Amino acid sequence: MLFVEVLAPWKPNSEKITMKISPKKKQILKKNLVDSLGFLIVSTPAGAFLENVLTGMDDDLSILSRLMVGGLYISGLGGLIGKGRRLSHQLWGIADKTKERYHGIHDALYMMGVTAIVNPAIYVIAGSKTKSEIIAASVLAVLTAGGAGWAMGYSADVFNDLLGLKSCKRASYPASIKNREPQFKRRLAVGLTALSLGVSGLMYGLTPPGYVGPFEKKPVVEQTIEQNTLEDVVLNKER
Q: What is the DSSP string of the chain?
A: -EEEEEE-TTSTT-PEEEEEE-HHHHHHHHHHHHHHHHHHHHHHHHHHHIIIIIS---HHHHHHHHHHHHHHIIIIIHHHHHHHHHHHHHHHT--TTS-HHHHHHHHHHHHHHHHHHHHHHHHHHHT---HHHHHHHHHHHHHHHHHHHHHHHHHHHHHHHHTTSS----TTS-HHHHTS-HHHHHHHHHHHHHHHHHHHHHHTTSS-TT---TTSPPPHHHHHHHHHHHHHHHHHHH-
Residue 34 near residue 12, CB atoms below 8 Å: no
Which backbone phi and psi does 21 adopt, to 5 degrees?
Answer: -125, 120
Distance CA 148, CA 140 (A): 12
Which pLDDT score is estimated for 211?
78
Residue 32 near residue 78, CB atoms below 8 Å: yes
Residue 82 near residue 31, CB atoms below 8 Å: yes
| Domain parsing of the chain, residue ranges | 25-218
Which pLDDT score is estimated for 83?
96
Predicted confidence pLDDT, tens digits, the chain (239 residues):
443 433 344 445 545 555 677 888 899 999 999 999 999 999 999 999 988 888 888 889 899 999 999 999 999 999 999 999 999 999 999 998 899 999 999 999 999 999 999 989 888 888 877 888 788 889 988 998 998 999 999 999 999 999 999 999 998 999 999 999 999 999 999 999 999 999 999 998 888 777 776 655 555 444 444 455 545 544 555 55
Structure pTM? 0.77
Give residue 120's identity as a one-letter amino acid code: P
Closest to 122 (Cα-Cα) out of 61, 202, 75, 74: 61
